[in-house]
Amino acid sequence: MTRFRLTIEYDGRPFMGWQRQAHGPSVQQAIEEAIRAITHEEVVLHAAGRTDTGVHALAMTAHVDIDKPITPFRLADGTNAKLRPLPVAILGAQVVEEDFHARFSCIGRRYIYRIVNRRAPLALEAKRAWRVPVVLYADDMNKAAQALVGKHDFTTFRSAQCQAESPVKTIDRITVRRLGEVIEIEAAARSFLHHQVRSMVGCLELVGRGKWSKADLKAALEAKDRAALGFNAPPDGLYFVEASYPGER
Residues in the chain: 249
The three-class DSSP label of residue 77 is: helix
Annotated catalytic residue, options 11, 52, 65, 216 = 52
Do 172 and 149 contact (CB within 8 A), yes or no?
A: yes
Contacts of 139 (CB under 8 A, 6+ apart): none
Distance set, CA 115 to CA 19, 110, 138, 221, 233 (Å):
25, 17, 11, 22, 10
What number of CA atoms fall less than 13 Å from residue 157's CA on the CB side? Answer: 26
Instruction: Answer yes or no: 52 catalytic.
Output: yes
Contacts of 122 (CB under 8 A, 6+ apart): 116, 128, 129, 131
DSSP secondary structure letters along 104-122: TT--EEEEEEEEE--SS--
Q: Which residues are catalytic?
A: 52
